[in-house]
Amino acid sequence: MKITVMKFGGTSVADPEKIQRAAERAIAERRKGYAVVAVVSAPGEMTDELIALAERVTASPDDRELDQLVSTGEQVGIALFAMACKARGANAVSLTGPQAGIDAVGAAGRAQIRRIRTRALLKHLREGRIVVVAGFQGLTPEGDTATLGRGGSDLTAVALASALKTGRCEIFSDVKGVYTADPRIVHDARKLSKISFEEMLELAGAGAQVMQARSMEVAERFGVEIHVRSAFHPQAGTWIVAQEDLMLEKAFVSSLALDKSEVRLTIVGVPDQPGVAASVLTALAEGDIPVDMIIQSAPSHLGVNDMSFMTPKNHAVKAKKALEGVARRLRAERVDLNDQVAKVSAVGTGFRHSPKIAATMFRALAEQRINIHMISASDLRVSCIVDFADGETALRALHKAYGLSKGKK
Ligand code: ADP
Ligand code: ASP
Ligand code: MG
């Protein structure tokens, strides 16, 4: 049995017409002789709307109950998708994550897939059904449905492709593939024909939501090649593959990302002493707060310095509280929160040997008179924090400065 795993994101099933078109895609694949697993997300913005609804009931919803609520979004998606298949004469069945045998562990809202029991799923496939699986969810040992982190349907699809040993996974979205930058912001962005798992992981981590970062780790580990393509056009999209298959010695920028989902926190006036950074980070770690950049300023003549971090907006309140606690203990001056920031990043390979890549970024931002708040750099990525209002201008300026537009390279 040859199996195809096809994932349709929220943008591809945003309304009844789109659901019908997506179902037709799955049926066409079935008619080509493949057994089809369609992983489906919550239609459109339903996940965001459900979270907003919960926040109107309480400012800090209980994690388990929030998962109970948001996991219904995917259930809407799969039921409608399977109905559309059946209405077109195709045999189909919708399954929630737990019904599909997806076992998860870990905290609500960011559970991890532990294993997939494929028996029931394979039986449906053998009997000729298109199996429509809810993305973004799994069954915990406690019998609860837990979600897999935002964008988690990508992870469901990759994990299913791995468990079913298909070797590849088709990701359908509202874009034609992975571009040199978000094509909604940079209109002359170029579609990449291939990108490595490593670069895509870095790009996703830098805020390009086209693929979930965690799904890239699984894809790389289990050798699942990913084809990101349009749900509305038939052309080939972008293949995400292992590094060896790509051009060697690529010491240049392949793509850019803009992340508007984080805030900057600064603990001002901490004593310049051993153990201070450990206390600050321990406070954040105890609260399970993700931190992206850690910058410590040089000590002032008063023997104090500042420490700054980036953290996701939805962790901002908790992070600030944790830092205020540690600030009191360390007798620091205060904790500042700036939510009017954005992060622009250039992703590629070989940056370590090429300071020109960072220099080009700083020059392009300077020419736009954009001030840089924070900088971080690695072999694969350079990121700058800028004012929120400057984010899109910065992205367009960098795209030009690195010569990434259509027709170039
Ligand atoms: P889906 O609903 O299919 O999961 P997402 O909204 O999660 O879709 O991801 C697709 C979106 O990712 C696109 O609409 C686009 O705006 C955004 N995006 C950001 N960076 C890129 C990029 N480099 N290439 C393609 N799309 C990108
Ligand atoms: N619906 C979930 C989200 O919006 C999962 C997904 O779309 O991948 O994050
Ligand atoms: Mg997505």
Per-residue pLDDT of the chain (409 residues; tens, 9 = 90+): 999 999 999 999 999 999 999 999 999 999 999 999 999 999 999 999 999 999 999 988 999 999 999 999 999 999 999 999 999 999 999 999 999 999 999 989 989 999 999 999 999 999 999 999 999 999 999 999 999 999 999 999 999 999 999 999 999 999 999 999 999 999 999 999 999 999 999 999 999 989 999 999 999 999 999 999 999 999 999 999 997 655 555 568 999 999 999 999 999 999 988 999 999 999 999 988 989 888 888 777 778 899 999 999 988 988 999 999 999 999 999 999 999 999 999 999 888 888 899 999 999 999 999 999 999 998 899 999 999 999 999 999 999 999 998 765 4
Give the distance (Å) from ligand 3 centre to CA of residue 41: 8
Among 306, 295, 267, 291, smallest CA distance to 374 is for 295
pLDDT of residue 246: 54
Phi, psi of 354 (to 5 degrees): -135, 80
CA pair distance 168, 353, nearest whole angstrom: 33
Q: Which atom of ligand 2 is nearest to the CA of 9?
A: 7
Please answer whether residues 139 and 145 qualify as being in contact, where contact means their C-beta atoms are separated by less than 8 angstroms: yes
The preferred substitution site among 13, 150, 210 for testing ligand 2, maximizing ligand atoms within 8 Å of CB, is 150
Q: Which atom of ligand 2 is nearest to the CA of 48?
A: 4
The preferred substitution site among 15, 178, 182 for testing ligand 1, maximizing ligand atoms within 8 Å of CB, is 182
pLDDT of residue 249: 57
Q: Which helix (H) or strand (E) holds 304?
A: strand 304-312
Q: Whose CA is nearest to atom 15 of ligand 1?
A: 182
CA pair distance 238, 77, nearest whole angstrom: 25
Secondary structure in 3-state letters for 148-192: CCCCCHHHHHHHHHHHCCCCEEEEEECCCCCECCCCCCCCCCCEC
pLDDT of residue 296: 86
Give the distance (Å) from ligand 2 centre to CA of residue 137: 10
Provide the strand spans (E) within 32-136. 35-40, 92-95, 102-105, 112-116, 130-134
Give the distance (Å) from ligand 3 centre to CA of residue 35: 24
Please answer whether residues 149 and 155 qualify as being in contact, where contact means their C-beta atoms are separated by less than 8 angstroms: yes
Give the distance (Å) from ligand 2 centre to CA of residue 334: 36
Q: Whose CA is nearest to atom 9 of ligand 2?
A: 150
Q: Reduce the DSSP state of residue 25 to 3 states and report it.
A: helix
The preferred substitution site among 13, 136, 172 for testing ligand 2, maximizing ligand atoms within 8 Å of CB, is 136
Burial 150-164 (b: 16+ CB within 10 A, else e): bbbbbbbbbbbbbbb
Q: Reduce the DSSP state of residue 282 to 3 states and report it.
A: helix
pLDDT of residue 244: 64
Q: Is 188 exposed, middle or buried (0-12, 13-18, 19+ CB in 10 A)?
A: middle
Residues 6+ apart with CB under 8 A from 401: 360, 361, 363, 364
Q: Which helix (H) or strand (E) holds 79?
A: helix 63-87
pLDDT in tens, 347-398: 998 888 888 999 999 999 999 999 999 999 988 999 999 999 999 999 999 9
pTM: 0.93
Residues near ligand 2 (Cβ within 6 A)? 9-10, 41-42, 47, 73, 135-136, 150-154
Q: Which atom of ligand 1 is nearest to the CA of 11?
A: 2
Give the distance (Å) from ligand 3 centre to CA of residue 333: 40
Tokens describing residue 388? 């929120």
Q: Whose CA is nearest to atom 8 of ligand 2?
A: 151
Please answer whether residues 316 and 295 qualify as being in contact, where contact means their C-beta atoms are separated by less than 8 angstroms: no
Q: Reduce the DSSP state of residue 357 to 3 states and report it.
A: helix
